[in-house]
Amino acid sequence: MPAEVARIGLLGSGTVGSAFRDLVAERAEAIAGAAGRTPEITGVLRRTEGNFERILEDSEIVVELIGGTDPAREYVMRALQAGRHVVTANKQLIAQFGDELFDAARESGVQLRFEAAVAGVVPVIRVIQESLAATEITKVFGIVNGTTNFILSEMTSTGASYADALARAQELGYAEADPTEDVEGTDAAAKMAILARLAFGVPVALDDVSYQGITEIQPDDIAYAKELGLSLKLLGIAERRDGGLSVRVFPCFLYPRHPLAPVEGPFNAVMVEAPTITEITMSGPGAGGVETASAVLGDVFSILSGRAPVHAARESLEIVRDISSSFYLHLEVADRPGVLAQIADVLGRSGVSVRSVVQRGLGDDARLVMVMHEGPEARFFEALEGIALLDFLRSQPRAIRVIEEEFV
Ligand SMILES: NC(=O)c1ccc[n+]([C@@H]2O[C@H](COP(=O)([O-])OP(=O)(O)OC[C@H]3O[C@@H](n4cnc5c(N)ncnc54)[C@H](OP(=O)(O)O)[C@@H]3O)[C@@H](O)[C@H]2O)c1
């Protein structure tokens, strides 16, 4: 007897949606064998095709692959309220309207799944919500934006400027024509807000995430850091810190043995830390139509096989903003005696201590490259303001965070 059909309404049939249609056709029989139901797309909505009301009426699972929040928010809410399970790849929707959508799913007793919204194919959401559901997670962090990781890798391997590396990423289809969300860090911030909410049971709004992008990175920062054995990544971190929760995105240097240091190109990698598991690292392609569609189909499969995600117990953790970090500091200075002593004096007055210093170039090319020991960020930024006022500086100081942890 043929397996019963599971009716899927598909909203959006662009890059991911059309790959999803192909994948459903290709994998339907295998899924029927494993989950006992045959997935079938029974309605498709595009700008020029289909009718939402009819698709909603005729489906038991709604897959949202339109993107953005309007009209996706309304469609997803309507589907949940009508008792349909929903699968989406839409990070902005979950990051901005997660609360109301999770509430609606709970009230209707249906699932809202969104594995493809964070870290591409890397199954980090399933791992947090299922494998680690009973674990007290202390930190989730990683490279969650493939576009910026490609740009930084390109700058590192070829010495290209930020603008040239971005142009290359656009040429290869790794960056969109308008790359703002990726390069300014807002895409990664939305993903970290989602991960923080899942790992710590705290509703994290986009405003709770402090973020910085990669547009100010200069090739010589990367070149000098290479000499110090450091590699540059745009990192998202969500962690329990000082009795609260800190969620942030920033470019930073990693020491060579760090598990994220070798992650190159348009890849994503996420690490989870907890006392009982030490740490785990997951990595894989960060985007792509087929890859994303495969994560969406994984969510559909989970629904068909009757698995429900576990939501972390709600905690009340305050958002902590002033935390401790280590910094790299790049200063273009006049080549004259006493310069280093004056900089050390400003740093010392703010309680910032220097871990290493390298002097490079002579005359008009003289510069100092310093790495600080970890300390409160507020004190470092206070020192930075003082350094910027010194009359021998030839340009604005450039500071980039450094992750000091070394992994063995
Ligand atoms: N592309 C990736 O690699 C990737 C990776 C991870 C996550 N995602 C996420 O996946 C989702 C889909 O991305 P995509 O790249 O597939 O987008 P896309 O290629 O732009 O496709 C969007 C689809 O939605 C339809 N659509 C747009 N506005 C609509 C409206 N008002 N009413 C009905 N249909 C509408 C479009 O219709 P027409 O066909 O008529 O234009 C198109 O079929 C987004 O949330 C994105 O962030 C994408």
Tally the residues of the chain.
Answer: 408
Q: What is the pLDDT of residue 405?
A: 66
Structure tokens at 149: 């990781």
The whole-angstrom separation of Cα 282 and Cα 125 is 11
**Contact predicate 296/31, CB 8 Å:** no
Amino acid 393: pLDDT: 95
Q: Which of 23, 56, 66 maximizes ligand 1 atoms within 8 Å of its Cβ, making it the mutation to test the pocket?
A: 66
- Residue 226 has a pLDDT of 81
For residue 65, the CA-to-ligand 1 centroid distance in Å is 5
The confidence score (pLDDT) of residue 34 equals 95
DSSP 65-101: -S-SSTTHHHHHHHHHHTT-EEEE--HHHHHHHHHHH
CB of residue 70 inside a 6 A radius of ligand 1 = no
The β-bridge relationship of strands 139-143 and 244-254 is unpaired
295-343 pLDDT, tens digit each: 999 999 999 998 888 776 677 889 999 899 999 999 999 988 999 999 9
Quickly count: other Cβ atoms within 10 Å of residue 201's Cβ.
Answer: 15
16 lines ligand 1 (CB under 6 A): yes
Per-residue confidence (pLDDT) for residue 407, from 0 to 100: 46
For residue 56, give both structure tokens: 């909603």
pLDDT < 70 positions in the chain: 1, 312-313, 405-408
233 is catalytic: no
Could you tell me the maximum CA-CA distance found in the chain, to the nearest angstrom? 88
> Using a 6 Å cutoff on CB, does residue 46 contact ligand 1?
yes
Q: What is the pLDDT of residues 64-96, one digit of tens each?
A: 999 999 999 999 999 999 999 999 999 999 999
